[in-house]
């Protein structure tokens, strides 16, 4: 008897096609007794709000029939297809979060999506793990807002939602963080010693948070601060020598800005001209001195630091000599760089190229009484020592280049 009655209840429910709207519930929805060879109708109320359902979707549940028989019957699957009224429209989209400086958008999970009307939030939802949302709302005009902690709110105003339509609104939220850039991206300046110049650097923050800035001078990767020691204008006007009977020395006295000390002298450049009757392979010695006395005569108080024997490499060109070991110059004061011509051909020989356009009165020359010169060529030579301007006003075409690896603050003026 019980078996037959229960089957009739099951058949009745299937025939009615009623859908059970509360998920995973144990509450009694209907009860009673079904008489032998009889049937009992059960009215099942379908109320999506009872299950907290407000948005179009497919929801699943099961209807369990509890009875006092020894038999077991499977639960009845219940499927609810919840659709929006024709007067509703759907708004969907993806919410992502940008990294600093508005790059690399990444989907935001649990971002808040608010629908505003009349200055109040009337509907709200959130995004899933893919940053996706979809929501059905009555037709009308809304402001759609995306909110996520640590980001600037995104607001799309005057969104027109039409019944039966689907509208896509995506949003990329900017982080509440600074985004700093600098214009220009590099600074370069050419100037003479003892002159202070001003360059402007624009610090631009396009981010959504302030940033504290401190500028420090540090060595660039693989590139040190260059110290240039140059007196000439790059043009040869004459060649000077003493006729090839004794070794001849010519030097330039440079006075770098005190702020560049200490630095290392890494390279010396010397111009050799064919009209001076030089020959590639002629032997020379590059010499370096330091003088911190402040005397304009480089022989007074100069300390010899370095000698580098080498040869003339090319004519009518700058000869570039990278010193095998850098010369440390601690200053402040003068750096004296010179050349000793070791060739004594006994005839005309004028190895010292000179620029005579505008003299700097810093070029000196001399020679010794006997040959060869001393291994430590202290200044002045024991025979003759003179400012070359006494004979040929001009500047020797001898240059020096160094590198500075200091760390210091740069004084900046912000306007």
pLDDT, tens digit, for every residue of 129-150? 999 999 999 999 999 999 999 9
In a domain, 259, yes or no: yes
Judge contact between 114 and 147, C-beta under 8 A. yes
Statement to judge: residues 108 and 132 lie in one domain: yes
Q: How much is the average pLDDT of 149-156?
A: 96
> 9 in a domain, yes or no?
yes
pTM exceeds cut of 0.85: no
Confidence category of residue 56, pLDDT binned at 50, 70, 90: confident
Q: Do 342 and 241 reside in the same domain of the chain?
A: yes
Structure tokens at 201: 């650097």
Q: How far is Cα 354 from Cα 391, in angstroms, rounded to an integer?
A: 12
Domain identity same for 77 and 150: no
Instruction: Say whether both 269 and 325 belong to one domain.
Output: yes
311 and 297 both lie in a single domain: yes
pLDDT of residue 29: 56
Q: Determine the Cα–Cα distance for residues 234 and 237; give it in Å rounded to an integer.
A: 10
What is the distance between the alpha carbons of residues 84 and 9, in angstroms, rounded to a whole number?
32
d(CA 132, CA 95): 6
pLDDT above 90 for 251: yes
pLDDT value at residue 191: 77
More confident position, 396 or 218: 396
Model pLDDT, residue 171: 95
> Do 10 and 123 lie in a common domain?
no
Q: Which of 67, 82, 97 is the last residue of a domain?
A: 82
Domain termination site, one of 135, 150, 173: 173
Contact between 76 and 10 under an 8 Å Cβ cutoff? The reply is yes
pLDDT value of residue 2: 33
Q: Name the pLDDT band for 250 (thresholds 50, 70, 90).
A: very high
- CA dist 97 and 150 (Å) reads 10
Regarding whether 396 and 251 lie in a shared domain, the answer is yes
Phi, psi of 233 (to 5 degrees): -100, 5
Confidence band of 298 (pLDDT split at 50, 70, 90): very high
Angle made by CA atoms 191, 406, 258, in degrees to the nearest 5:
50
Domain that holds residue 126: 88-173
Rounded mean pLDDT of 375-402? 95
DSSP states along 181-216: EEESS-------TT-------EEEE-SSS------E
Q: Is the pLDDT of residue 108 over 70?
A: yes
**pLDDT above 70 for 50:** no
């Amino acid at each position: 008897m019980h078996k037959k009655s229960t089957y009739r209840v099951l058949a009745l429910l299937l025939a009615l096609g009623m859908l059970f709207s509360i998920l995973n519930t144990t509450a009694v929805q209907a009860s009673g007794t079904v008489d032998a060879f009889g049937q009992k109708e059960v009215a099942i109320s379908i109320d999506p709000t009872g299950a907290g359902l407000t948005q179009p979707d497919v929801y699943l549940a099961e209807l369990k029939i509890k009875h006092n028989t020894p038999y077991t019957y499977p639960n009845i699957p219940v499927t609810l297809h919840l659709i929006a009224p024709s007067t509703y429209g759907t708004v969907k989209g993806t919410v992502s979060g940008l990294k600093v400086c508005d790059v690399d958008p990444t989907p935001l999970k649990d971002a808040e999506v608010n629908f505003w009307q009349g200055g109040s939030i009337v509907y709200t939802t959130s995004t899933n793990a893919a940053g996706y949302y979809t929501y059905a709302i009555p037709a009308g005009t809304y402001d759609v807002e995306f909110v996520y902690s640590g980001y600037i709110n995104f607001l799309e105003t005057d969104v027109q939602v039409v019944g039966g339509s689907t509208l896509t609104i995506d949003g990329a939220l900017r982080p509440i963080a600074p985004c700093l850039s600098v214009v220009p991206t590099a600074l370069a300046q050419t100037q003479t010693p003892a002159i202070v110049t001003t360059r402007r650097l624009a610090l631009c923050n396009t981010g959504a948070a302030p940033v504290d800035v401190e500028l420090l001078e540090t060595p660039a990767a693989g590139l040190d601060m260059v110290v240039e020691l140059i007196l000439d204008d790059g043009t040869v006007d004459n060649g000077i020598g003493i006729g090839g009977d004794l070794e001849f020395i010519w030097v330039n006295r440079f006075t770098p800005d005190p702020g560049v000390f200490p630095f290392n002298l890494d390279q010396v450049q010397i111009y050799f001209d064919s009209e001076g009757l030089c020959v590639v392979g002629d032997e020379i010695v590059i010499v370096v001195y330091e003088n911190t006395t402040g005397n304009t005569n480089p022989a007074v108080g100069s300390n010899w630091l370095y000698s580098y024997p080498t040869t003339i490499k090319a004519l009518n060109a700058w000869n570039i000599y990278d010193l095998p070991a850098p010369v440390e110059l601690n200053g402040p004061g003068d750096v004296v760089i010179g050349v000793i011509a070791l060739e004594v051909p006994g005839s005309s020989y004028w190895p010292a190229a000179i620029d005579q356009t505008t003299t700097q009165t810093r070029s000196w020359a001399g020679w010794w009484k006997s040959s060869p010169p001393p291994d430590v060529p202290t200044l002045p030579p024991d025979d003759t020592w003179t400012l070359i301007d006494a004979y040929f006003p001009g500047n020797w075409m001898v240059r020096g280049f160094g590198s500075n690896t200091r760390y210091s603050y740069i004084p900046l003026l912000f306007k």
